[in-house]
Structure 1
Amino acid sequence: MTAEPILDVAHLGHIELLTPKAEESLRFFVDVMGMTESGRDGRSVYLRGWDDYERYSLKLTDAGTSGMGHAAFRARSPQALARRVAALEGTEYAIGWTDGDLGHGPSYQFRDPDGHVVELYYETEWYQPPPELKPYLKNQAQRFPARGVNVRRIDHFNCLAADIRANRVFFEDYLGFRLTEQIVLNDGTEAGMWMTCTNKSYDFAYTREAHGIGGRFHHVTFALDSREEILRAADIFKENDVFIETGPHKHAIQQTFFLYVYEPGGNRVELANAGARLLLAPDWKPLVWTEEERKKGQAWGLKTIESFHTHGTPPLPDDVAAADAQNRRN
């Protein structure tokens, strides 16, 4: 008999990004991305898309480097949180309880097999807009900002990992995530995974770190409503001298229409269309992409840019970066 699926995790709540250029990064997310500041605490600023229901979806922290501080998921109930904590406590992955953060209550932190910090929480603060940001439509979290790109909500994130299979098994067994698509190389090595806890086709992805270094970050993604808005975002980025790494284009995996840029701190940020695929089948069978299929490039034949496989945050150690540059020259 098939085991009952674990449905204790509700959705991605927020990402903490570290930046060595705090003020420049803040201006990027507010003025260019169109996010709204919703609080400050110590060295961190909290930001939101105009239709995120929680107080924030991005915690931007002034740090000596770049990368992901942590990723946070909300549990479906206090009981669901307790079940996941019971599964994790006493394992090599456990870190322990925190008192919470601005906008949410106590959280339980742990590390995945690659070393990324993840937390689970339930108690949260629903965003209450001030009068000047109160929307006309009461089923919308805040007034449309009409500023920059106008990102609607957080969508997903992508981490780099030295061992994709170990991370896939961890998120399946301990947290109940479903695998929706994956890359498997000819030698059987798992090189990418896309996983979900909702009816979205994925809430996060992990792809193989090219240098075998653990704990690095690939990108965070914010949703817009349509492809046309992503095309307009490309113009806005160029007008603001923001480097566009690749896109606008369409991924073959998950069919996401995308655009990638770097924020001033060095972290990669993606824009994607909010109308991406939904998986309504409770018995969805994961799709496997082969090595040959991935070499064909993106959905319409565009070759994947080399930096997409090599750039991540925090930066590589100097010796690894030097060896990597030498290999590319050769």
Structure 2
Amino acid sequence: MTDAPEPVLTHDPDRPRDIAHLGPVELYTPALEESAEFFVRQMGLRQVHRERDSVYLHTWDDYQSWTVRLVRRERAGVGRTYLRASGPAALARTASALREAGIACETTSAVRGLGVVLNFDAPDGHPMGLYWDVERYRPGADDRPGLKNQAAAYPGRGANVRRLDHINYLTSDVPAAVRFAGDLLGGRCTERIVKDDGQPQAVWFSLMNKTYDLVWTEDWTGTRGRLHHLAFATDTREEILRAADVFLDAGTHIETGPHKHAIQQTFFLYVWEPGGNRIELCNAGARLILAPDWETISWSRAERAKRQAWGLRTIESFHTHGTPSL
């Protein structure tokens, strides 16, 4: 058994935090209607717009006009991930850093609900977009909240997910993802898994004060550009427990949980939506990263062998399933 790696500081506390948060995400599905039904009926999202081959959905407390765009494709997977800059100057600084690093960038004004978007690819080929201007969600008569400081009324349906929480990409090159997320996006690596040779196997990056927003996990197949999971936050653990019954009644495949991760201490439930993408319901309670000089927590293989926080063994498909499926 190896000793636990020492915590390390992997960011500059004086660096501006130029990315505000994870924005809308595109999700590919070969079963558009079934996937849309899953997100509306079981997850509690609201359909806000529909096109021939895509459906726009909104979580009830997202201030932006849409949260997830389901796109009809032959194979499941992740499309473009959008990130909101902290301001116009922050967007310009990040764009300059990307171009100086040799990353091809192009601008577009064609994304629904967003202003000018800077499109680029992460090192493993995952498409991303950076934006500042955004259209805010305007509730209708049937989802107007009683409190004006939330985006829409509580749906009272299915899992009642409040917002998009994080995304976990599969990557063929974790060290490249670390350099990209830290050096170019300015994220902080809050926790990581390290292999016996000291190289990172999985990394969790925080953009502001949430414990994590963007995650990269080593793809055991060596394939580029795949998705591990997309995660949505609930207000309480109890809503995740209720959601497990909702999924059970609907015949949705429950992969693992409800349970608690040791890493990041997130209470979790993983299911597969009809298109095949893994979806997580998560609740991290009130845990935030407030220390500006946070030291990255590293987990060794020996520590990971102790299983999840309450002893649940990680299911084998959690290490092998990703989308597009191989």
State the secondary structure of the residue aligned to 1:133.
coil
Counterpart of 2:16, as a letter, is I
Q: 2:147 aligns to what?
A: 137
Q: 2:214 aligns to what?
A: 204
Q: Is 1:256 the equivalent of 2:263?
A: no
Structure 1 residue 299 displacement after superposition: 0.7
- Provide the rounded CA distance (Å) in 2 between the counterparts of 1:162 and 1:276: 33
Match of 2:319 among 303, 306, 309: 309
- Provide the rounded CA distance (Å) in 1 between the counterparts of 2:284 and 2:310: 20
Match of 1:98 among 105, 108, 121: 108
Q: 1:171 aligns to what?
A: 181
Q: 2:6 aligns to what?
A: none
Say if 2:160 and 2:239, in contact at 8 Å, map to a contact too. no
Q: Where does structure 2 lack aligned partners over 5 or more consecutive residues?
A: 1-11
Match of 1:234 among 210, 231, 244: 244
Q: 2:77 aligns to what?
A: 67
State the secondary structure of the residue aligned to 1:128.
coil
Q: 2:235 aligns to what?
A: 225
Q: Is 1:128 the equivalent of 2:124?
A: no
- Provide the rounded CA distance (Å) in 2 between the counterparts of 1:240 and 1:92: 47
Q: 2:289 aligns to what?
A: 279
Structure 1 residue 195 displacement after superposition: 0.3
Query: Against the structure 1 CA distance between its residues 306 and 276, is the aligned structure 2 distance closer, same or farther, given a 3 Å change threshold?
Result: farther
- Provide the rounded CA distance (Å) in 2 between the counterparts of 1:108 and 1:114: 18
Give per-residue Cα distances to partners, 1:183-230, cap 9 Å, x unaligned. Answer: 111112210000011111001211110111111100011111111111
Q: 2:27 aligns to what?
A: 17
Q: 2:301 aligns to what?
A: 291
Counterpart of 1:27, as a letter, is E
- Provide the rounded CA distance (Å) in 2 between the counterparts of 1:48 and 1:208: 30
Q: 2:7 aligns to what?
A: none
TM-score by length of 2: 0.94
Say if 2:204 and 2:215, in contact at 8 Å, map to a contact too. yes
- Provide the rounded CA distance (Å) in 2 between the counterparts of 1:82 and 1:41: 32
Structure 1 residue 95 displacement after superposition: 3.5
Structure 1 residue 56 displacement after superposition: 1.1
- Provide the rounded CA distance (Å) in 2 between the counterparts of 1:272 and 1:3: 28
State the secondary structure of the residue aligned to 2:142.
helix
Q: 1:328 aligns to what?
A: none
Structure 1 residue 180 displacement after superposition: 0.2
Q: Is 1:194 the equivalent of 2:208?
A: no
Query: Against the structure 1 CA distance between its residues 274 and 254, is the aligned structure 2 distance closer, same or farther, given a 3 Å change threshold?
Result: closer
- Provide the rounded CA distance (Å) in 1 between the counterparts of 2:14 and 2:283: 32
Once superposed, what is the RMSD of the aligned Cα atoms?
1.3
Query: Against the structure 1 CA distance between its residues 3 and 252, is the aligned structure 2 distance closer, same or farther, given a 3 Å change threshold?
Result: closer
- Provide the rounded CA distance (Å) in 1 between the counterparts of 2:17 and 2:110: 23
- Provide the rounded CA distance (Å) in 2 between the counterparts of 1:156 and 1:224: 12
State the secondary structure of the residue aligned to 1:94.
coil
Give per-residue Cα distances to partners, 1:231-270, cap 9 Å, x unaligned. Answer: 1110010011111000000000000000000000000000
Q: 2:223 aligns to what?
A: 213
- Provide the rounded CA distance (Å) in 1 between the counterparts of 2:80 and 2:307: 30
Q: Where does structure 1 lack aligned partners over 5 or more consecutive residues?
A: 317-330
Q: Which has the higher contact order (CA 8 A, sep 6+)?
A: 2
TM-score by length of 1: 0.93
